[in-house]
Homo-oligomer: A and B are copies of this chain.
Amino acid sequence: MKKLNMVIAQSGGPSMVINESLVGAVIEAKKSPAIGKILGARHGIVGILGNDYIDLRKPSAKKLEAIAETPSSALGSCRKKPDANDCRAIFERFRKLGVGYFFYIGGNDSADAARIVAEEAEKENYPLVVYHIPKTIDNDLRSCDHTPGFGSAARFVATAIMGDDLDNRALEGVKIDVIMGRDAGFLTAASALARRREDDAPHLIYLPEVPFSEEKFVKDVKAAMKKFGRCVCAVSEGIRGKDGVPIGAKLGSGEKDSHGNVQMSGSGALGDALAKLLKDKAGVKRVRADTFGYLQRSFPGIASKTDQAEARMAGVAAVRAALKGDLKKGTIAIVRESSKKYNVAFAPVPIADAAKYTRSVPKEFIAKNGRDVTDAFLEYARPIVGELPKCEIF
């Protein structure tokens, strides 16, 4: 049996468990007699084009486990969308290196990049098995019940909101927390997991899936202030008005990546604008805004154990599927097997199922009033996020 070499890389925004997927794939690949070299490309496709590799057979098992526990993309990441020319350059390099397997860990844009590579390989008659391994804190891949990375980011968000609720109880006023999620509000919705008591935060939740109205926002906050004497709002960075244009993008720098995504994170502009609105229009004296920012995806030591285990298995499953030849170009779908006892399966499906288009928070997860989530969402999210710290009040 002629051994084929494999290349694995990471792409898009980092997560707390993306290295679990990497390590899962590497350990599984090491077991196979069909795989020769295991090469990690630095910074995704950019590293492939630049011949920048790490030999992933070298690190000890102990080192690999330590990498798996570490947040952010250990191989480095990129946000590059390859075109046909890039692909030809990739195959030229792959041919020289004897690469027959290519694994790309990332979100929907990364799945799309992998799809392009796979389709171009077919056109160019380059024999390549391509597998996308799902990852995104946004939880917006259409192919997955939920995505590796989401559970841990959601755990950060829910924990942060628990703490912020206590802070807001102490000093009162309105607190606005801006949470990641360009197009999908899953992470913002996860803030609701922080609730234990009836008056616990978040008191208002705004998702990108519900058109945002400044007028309604001011009214909602006034009502919450009347009811609770204070108010904590969980706001998605992706909230958009009736015109569909994200409000944060209008306020931001206008910077775009090669997939056409406008910068939203890494700026406090949206939170500050909403705080100003409330001071001016709702007559609230003390309004503070925090943008949780990159901590949501990279804070060490607080990952969800379920999320870690599933991210590991997604990597393992991709290598197994690629070796079995289940599909020549695939991704791993995470399927919830039963709604009663939490259990998931990892199934190979066509890569196009994950690529490009995103999944939104479904209607049954959004409260009818448009400013909260349903119990169905909480039941969906709880096992993925795992246990949260206990917080006691008088």
Contacts and interface: CB of A to CB of B under 8 A. Distances in A.
A74 B222 CA distance: 25
Contacts of A298: 163-164, 166-167
A59 B394 CA distance: 8
A292 B289 contact: no
A302 interface: yes
Interface residues of A, number: 67
A389 interface: yes
Interface stretch (A114-122, A125-133, A268-276, A335-343): A268-276
Interface stretch (A62-70, A346-354, A365-373, A376-384): A62-70
Contacts of A143: none
Contacts of A72: 163, 166-167, 169-170
A294 B170 contact: no
A76 B169 contact: yes
A170 B292 contact: no
A40 interface: yes
A65 to B, nearest CB: 9
A253 B267 contact: no
Interface of A: 10, 13-14, 40, 43, 54, 59, 63, 66-67, 69-79, 159-160, 162-164, 166-167, 169-171, 175, 253, 255, 265-269, 271-272, 275-276, 279, 286-295, 297-302, 388-394
